[in-house]
Amino acid sequence: MLTITCPYCHEERSEEELTFGGEAAVIRPAVPETVSDEQWAEYLYFRDNRKGEQAEQWCCSGGCGQWFKVVRDTVGHEVFCAVPYDHVLASGYAA
């Protein structure tokens, strides 16, 4: 079972207590009117969908309710880091 320690409430949560929010790099353009249709489609639909290490957004939905960032192996589900949402991930990970 996938477990992640929430960087806000510091509790180890199981996958049942967490909500997956997709890839960390997927962020809604701040001013949607200014982006092209192409960029909007990329934001809405297109994904890296990495096999291996991937930076993601998760929510401690069964606990403190905070969103945070995680770097995880999508094959073995090893969690390399779980950090507050405004934390800048090491280079190589978008956003």
Partner 1 sequence: MNYNLANLLRQGVAGHRGWPAAWRAPEPKPRYEVVIIGGGGHGLATAYYLAREHGITDVAVLEKGWIGGGNTGRNTTNVRSDYMFPESARMYDLALRLYEGLGRDLDFNIMLSQRGWLTLIHDQHQLETARHKANWLNCNGVDGEIIGPERVREMLPLLNVDDDPRFDVKGAFLQKRGGTIRHDAVAWGYARAADRLGADIIQNCAVEGFDFEDDHIAALRTSRGRIEVGRVGMAVAGHSSVLTEMAGFRLPITSHCLQAMVSEPVRPLLDHVVISPGTGVYINQTQKGELVMGGVLDRYSSYGQRGTFPTIEKVATAAVEMFPALSELRLMRHWAGIVDISPDSSPILGATPVPNLFINCGWGTGGFKAIPAGGFLLSHQLATDRPHEMATAFGLDRFRENRLVDEGAAAGIAH
With CB under 8 A, what is the number of residues at the site for partner 1?
28
> Which element (helix H / strand E) includes 42?
helix 37-44
Rounded to a whole number, what is the largest CA-CA distance in the chain? 42
Buried b (16+ CB within 10 A) or exposed e, 52-63: eebbbbbbbbeb
Query: Does residue 95 interact with partner 1 by CB under 8 A?
Result: no
- Burial-class residue 87 by CB neighbours within 10 Å (0-12, 13-18, 19+): exposed
Q: Tell me how far apart the alpha carbons of residues 56 and 47 are, in angstroms, rounded to a whole number.
A: 12
Is residue 29 near partner 1 by the rule CB under 8 A?
no
Among the candidate windows 5-13, 27-35, 44-52, 79-87, which touches partner 1 by CB under 8 A? 44-52
Region from 5-13, 27-35, 69-77, 81-89 binding partner 1, contact rule CB under 8 A: 69-77
Among 9, 77, 83, 94, binds partner 1 (CB under 8 A): 77
Query: Given the rule CB under 8 A, which residues bind partner 1?
Result: 1-2, 14-16, 19-20, 22-23, 37-38, 41-42, 44-52, 54, 56, 74-77
